[in-house]
Amino acid sequence: MAYSTLDQIKKGEVVLIEQIQSEDLAIQLQHLGCVPGVSIRLERKAPLGDPLIFRLDQSFISVRLSDARNIQVQRNPKVAL
């Protein structure tokens, strides 16, 4: 299993959220259903690379690049969205 941060994944890649480094960020994302153990897919990046748009179940969320650097993910989790 390969681990990285959310800002390092490629468009269309599905990853599993492992850990959110910032407690404040974790609380904000929790309200959106983005918690450790959930699969998330990078749908697109803004023209200048920030923010990033992710698909989470049937919803889309926007995450700043600086926040994505604080979210540890597992690559190749063998799940599909």
CA-CA distance, 56 to 33, in Å (whole number)? 8
Domain that residue 58 falls in: 2-75
- Total domains in the chain come to 1
Token digits of residue 25: 């960020």
**Hey, what amino acid is at 57?**
D
**Residue 81: inside a domain:** no
Q: Return the pLDDT at 18.
A: 95
Q: Would residue 53 count as lying in a domain?
A: yes
In whole angstroms, give the CA distance from residue 46 to residue 62: 10
Residue 51 is given by DSSP the state S
pLDDT digits (tens, 9 = 90+) for 21-76: 999 999 999 999 899 999 999 999 998 889 999 999 899 999 999 999 999 999 87
pLDDT digits (tens, 9 = 90+) for 13-22: 999 999 999 9
Q: Within a domain: residue 51?
A: yes
**What is the CATH classification number for the domain harbouring 17?**
2.30.30.90
Nearest Cα to 4, choosing from 55, 79, 77, 81? Answer: 77
